[in-house]
Amino acid sequence: MKRKGIILAGGNGTRLHPLTLSTSKQLLPIYDKPMIYYPLSTLMLGGIKDILIISKPNDENSFKKLLGDGENFGINISYKIQPKPEGIAQAFLLAESFLDNSPSVLILGDNLFHGDSLVSLLSEADKEFKGASIFAYAVKDPERYGVIEFNEDGIANNIIEKPKNPKSSYAITGIYFYDNTVVNKVKTIKPSERGELEITDINRIYLDEKGLKVKQLGRGITWLDTGTFDALYEASGYIRALEQRQGLKIGCPEEIAWRKGWINNEKLKEIASNSIKSGYGSYLLKLIKE
């Protein structure tokens, strides 16, 4: 059974007020593209073609206007409203009918991944249909994240949510691959002290069942959590620097769809015609000529 994708684009974006008082965080720009293009592109690079976007009630129409039903990207996009943000794991309860007992991959709408080996890592995780696969990344401030601890053999043996004294510098990133038991697992956990269904509790269940695989993202991969002013600025600078240097776009779902053969030349030309003045359309047309 094919894996289905979920982009969690809900929440109130309070760390980005006043920018997010009137719009979704995931619709803010990271250089030349809306933030949500980057997690969407990550799922597409992993071969995921059935994707559910979970958003706040007021934001759903904006996402639909931007992304439609996924036709421009050769994929299927569905939508679900999150009435009230109650934790990352809540996404699986909201997505239960969409998943229909399929394995899944959840990505947070404000997470940006980039790197040469990313596609192979995603493909490797996608092939695992039993248990869970998560990705760890070394950070200088692990106390802000869920942290993976390892034993002497390098095997994950504990997960601590925002530890005061971290024993590891490896943070859990915002992309999670799960088998088709995840919905039932979420139904067994209780809200934490902050009233949320914690994704850490789900990962702990898989860890206790010896079904959790932890893949470390090395120096060749960049992971950015773009949920603060500084991180948003840093991400935009990172994308701009690479695109200006290489002449290639990062997080461009139209290009990914075209290169994968999910859309043809004529469709790409049609999409490009709406964005010529910004230069985005000219870039898409240049792909065909090359």
pLDDT in tens, 223-253: 999 989 999 999 999 999 999 999 999 999 9
User: Do 93 and 82 touch, CB atoms closer than 8 A?
Assistant: no
Residue with tokens 């002013």: 229
pLDDT confidence of 210, banded at 50, 70, 90?
Answer: very high
Q: For the whole model, what pTM was predicted?
A: 0.97
Other C-beta atoms closer than 10 Å to the C-beta of 85 total 16
Beta bridge partners of 112: 224
* DSSP state letter for 4: E
Q: Distance (Å, rounded) from C-alpha 232 to C-alpha 33?
A: 12
Other C-beta atoms closer than 10 Å to the C-beta of 115 total 14
For the stretch 13-48, pLDDT in tens is: 899 999 999 999 999 999 999 999 999 999 999 999
Radius of gyration of the chain (CA): 19
Joined together, the tokens standing for residue 180 give: 């088709």
For the stretch 136-161, pLDDT in tens is: 999 999 998 999 999 888 889 999 98
Closest CA to 283 of 238, 241, 253: 253
Joined together, the tokens standing for residue 132 give: 């869970």
